[in-house]
Structure 1
Amino acid sequence: MGTRSQQQAHRREGEWSAVSVAGDYLELVRAPAVLTVLGDSLAGGAAAGRSLGGRRVLMPLASACLYAGGMALNDYADRELDADERPERPIPSGRISARNALAAASALTAAGLGLCAVAGGRSALAVGVPLAVSIWTYDLVAKDHAVPGAVSMGTCRALDVLMGAGAGHIRPALGAAGIMGGHTVAVTLLSRGEVNGTDAATAAGTAAATGVLTASVVAGTPGPPARTLAVLGAAAAYALRCAPAQIEAARNPVAGNALKATKAGIRAMVPLQAALALRHGHPVAAGALIGVDILGRIIRSRPRARRVSES
């Protein structure tokens, strides 16, 4: 039976083990980066004139599950490469088996599609299914090729925006989808230099893309001057979040700078989504995204969260 102190020690050991396993899975799915996908459906819905109410509040969670499933599948597909380049990752380190990672990817994808159906019905699911297919295609086939892989990843992000709009409201959301997809393509190309370094042209091109996308968000913002100023502020926050690291990577394209620029590009997606929501007259959605951005900063500041990488 054991003494009471022994029983308490065993209980604490079991609780710590559960916490450790949960942390391993959070690392597997890049938990902090999942926050950057919540605003896709908000931006798409705002562009299509659809408010986030009723069951539609589940749409960002659908995006989060699909994204997290893609991250788990990414590590499953990269398990042999990571054994050489990133042996500390959950699969090569032995903390999570390849089989369990694949199971997690499958379960999260199914959960994402289920939430999509509940939140937006057939209209959203008509975009959600191609999105899920695109995610699995990227992870298992396309990502080994630089440009096709980046375009495939950008397509995933654009489809996530369109999922928030729904199949019947795609046209007005195409601009927002193109902006989010374009940013993703640029960041994905730069991310290929995280381990061995990038090149100045790629990093400079990414910085140039940031400038073009910033101008695209602000240009032609409809409505009163106050809305234009709000969009300008959010767009400036986006540019300031990622452009300095991209410029530094262009000046010195070593792996460390490429990694910093990639992480900055991932985090900059939230103010970009907020700018798009403001552009289409949805300040409440933009305010929610500001809250998401603050939450991400808090999570990243915690010492125990630092190993839960975003890339």
Structure 2
Amino acid sequence: MSVTSAGAVRRLRSRLHRPAPTAHTASPSVAGGRTGGPAVPVAATARAWAELLRVPAVFTVPGDALAGAAAAGARPGRTTALAVCASVCLYEAGMALNDWADHDEDAVQRPHRPLPSGRVRPRAALAAAGTLTAAGLALAARAGRRPLAVAVPLAATVWAYDLKLKHTPAGPAAMAAARGLDLLLGAAATGRPLRPALVPAATLAGHTCAVTLTSRRETEGGSPAAPLTALAATAAVTASLLPLAHRPAADRHAVRTALALGYLATAAPPLAHAALNPSPVLVQRAVGAGIRATVCLQAALTARAGAPVAGLLTAALAPVAARLARKVSTT
């Protein structure tokens, strides 16, 4: 037999005895999304987007509309649900846009984030921000003209903050304005006057401003000024939430008191630790606690407006956010 014939026989035997492909050997074109690319598990992609959108923080959003509806003196209804969905879309649009705008900075300070690590493409994050913004505005329009009239400046504030104002002195005020407008969006969806919701919106905005000021030093730490300021703001907000001393504690004001103290217990201790030792780790913990405390604040504002049951339902979102925050960072 010639060398050529022997080689042909060996190749034929090799093909006949080659094991059949299994379910674990999917072609790269299917598993990776492009020919020749590495296989990317669906779970890894989902986690990358969960980190990009900071999914645990989403649970701080529905309480805005619920607090707004309560302040306006209305029960939550279909338009309130539309306002909640619009708020979630606009909030998540801001998250995606935030990482897109900070791509270069994160490559140095947070290389593990989805964009600098290559797990999510920058143009995909930008497309998500645009799509979510459009969806948020469409949902607000379904709720009515007045909600849309609030949603438009809310969306503009979100984009202005992420693209221009974030690293300027106006950054915390812009973020605070976005939260305040989000509460007013819930009030506008009821069709009632917005004036009763202005004070709750200002209270929520003040808390948000304090948390944002603290977050500006979360990667380098080094200064106790911001945590101390946020701690003072937390104490002031708590005092405004507590009922008057002569009110009986056995009625609905007991719920309001419990929710106000829950807000204080969630936000204050991490801020105190960060003030005593403003290391990046402790500052980040204080920021995360401040974000989670937003739910407690919304619940207390809702109870203060005369809707204790809605306040308790809002507060139930806090442990969900805390549990998810152990898996996906909110900062």
Q: TM-score, normalised by structure 2?
A: 0.85
Unaligned runs of 5+ residues in structure 2 are 1-17, 33-38
Name the structure 1 match of 2:130: 106
5 Å-filtered alignment, 1:234-273, equals: 234-273=259-298
User: Shift of the alpha carbon at 1:36?
Assistant: 0.8
CA contact (8 A) 1:222 1:279 kept: no
1:275 aligns with 2:297: no
SS of aligned partner of 2:134: helix
Q: Please point out which of 162, 183, 199 is paired with 2:184.
A: 162
Measure, in 2, the Cα distance between the counterparts of 1:222 and 1:123. Answer: 39
Which residue does 2:12 correspond to in 1? Answer: none
| Larger CA deviation: 183-192 vs 287-296 | 287-296
Q: 160-169 or 37-46: which moved more?
A: 160-169
Residues 1:289 and 1:159: Cα distance change in structure 2 (over 3 Å): same
**CA positional deviation for 1:3:** 7.9
Counterpart of 1:130 in structure 2 is 153
Aligned-pair CA distance for 1:198: 4.2
**Residues 212 and 19 from structure 1, CA distance in 2 versus in 1: closer, same or farther, beyond 3 angstroms?**
same
Q: 1-side partners of 2:289 and 2:98: how far apart?
A: 20
Provide closer, same or farther for how the CA distance between residues 241 and 250 of structure 1 changes in structure 2, counting only shifts above 3 A: same
Residue type at the aligned position of 1:71? M
Q: CA deviation at 1:121?
A: 0.7
Select which of 194, 206, 228 maps to 1:182. Answer: 206
Residue 93 of structure 1, CA deviation: 0.8
The residue type equivalent to 2:183 in the other structure is V
Q: 2:173 aligns with which of 151, 172, 175?
A: 151
Q: What number of residue pairs does the alignment pair up?
A: 303
Amino acid corresponding to residue 133 of structure 2 in structure 1: T
| Deviation of 1:54 (Å) | 2.5
Write the distance in 1 (CA, Å) between the matches of 2:98 and 2:215.
Answer: 14
Choose between structure 1 and 2: higher helix proportion: 1
SS state at 2:22 partner: helix
Deviation for aligned residue 1:5: 6.0
CA distance in 2, matches of 1:270, 1:242: 11
Distance 1:177 1:224 in 2: 27
Of 195, 201, 219, which residue of structure 1 is paired with 2:219? Answer: 195
Q: CA deviation at 1:117?
A: 1.9
Shift of 1:248: 1.0
Give the whole-Å Cα distance in 2 for the aligned partners of 1:257 and 1:25: 25
Deviation at 1:294, TM superposition (A): 2.6
Q: 1:71 aligns with which of 89, 95, 99?
A: 95
Question: Structure 1 counterpart of 2:70, which letter?
Answer: A
Letter in 2 for 1:274: A
1:94 is matched with which residue: 114, 118, 130?
118
Q: CA deviation at 1:22?
A: 2.1
**Cα offset, 1:20, TM superposition:** 2.1
Give the structure 2 partner of residue 6 of structure 1: 22
Identical-pair percentage:
44
The residue type paired with residue 122 of structure 2 is: A
Instruction: Please tell me the root mean square deviation across aligned C-alpha atoms, in Å.
Output: 2.3
Q: Distance in 2 between matches of 1:276 and 1:16?
A: 44
The match for 2:50 among 26, 38, 42 is 26
Give the stretch that moved more between structures: 54-63 or 22-31.
54-63
CA contact (8 A) 2:256 2:308 kept: no
Separation (CA, whole Å) in 2 of partners of 1:284 and 1:125: 28
> How far has the Cα of 1:62 moved from its partner?
1.3
Q: String of CA shifts for 1:20-72, please: whole Å, max 9, x gaps.
A: 22221111111111111110011011100121112422321211111110010
Measured in 1, the distance between the counterparts of 2:88 and 2:111 equals 26
CA distance in 1, matches of 2:246, 2:51: 41
Letter in 2 for 1:37: V
Aligned-pair distance for 1:221?
10
Matched residue SS, 2:252: helix
Q: Is the 8 A contact 2:67 2:302 kept in 1?
A: yes
For residues 9 and 82 of structure 1, what CA distance do their matches in structure 2 show? 35
- Which stretches of structure 1, 4 residues or more, deviate above 4 A after TM superposition? 2-5, 11-16, 219-225
CA drift of 1:300 comes to 3.2
Q: Which amino acid aligns with 1:163?
A: L
Cα offsets for 1:113-170 (capped at 9, x unmatched): 112222x21111110110000000000011111x310001000000000000017521
Specify whether residues 222 and 151 from structure 1 end up closer, same or farther in structure 2 by C-alpha distance, changes over 3 A only.
Answer: farther
In the alignment, the residues of structure 2 paired with residue 267 and residue 42 of structure 1 have an alpha-carbon distance, to the nearest angstrom, of 16
Contact 1:91-1:98 within 8 A present in 2 as well: yes
Larger Rg: 2
* Inter-CA distance 3–282: structure 2 relative to 1 (3 Å threshold): farther
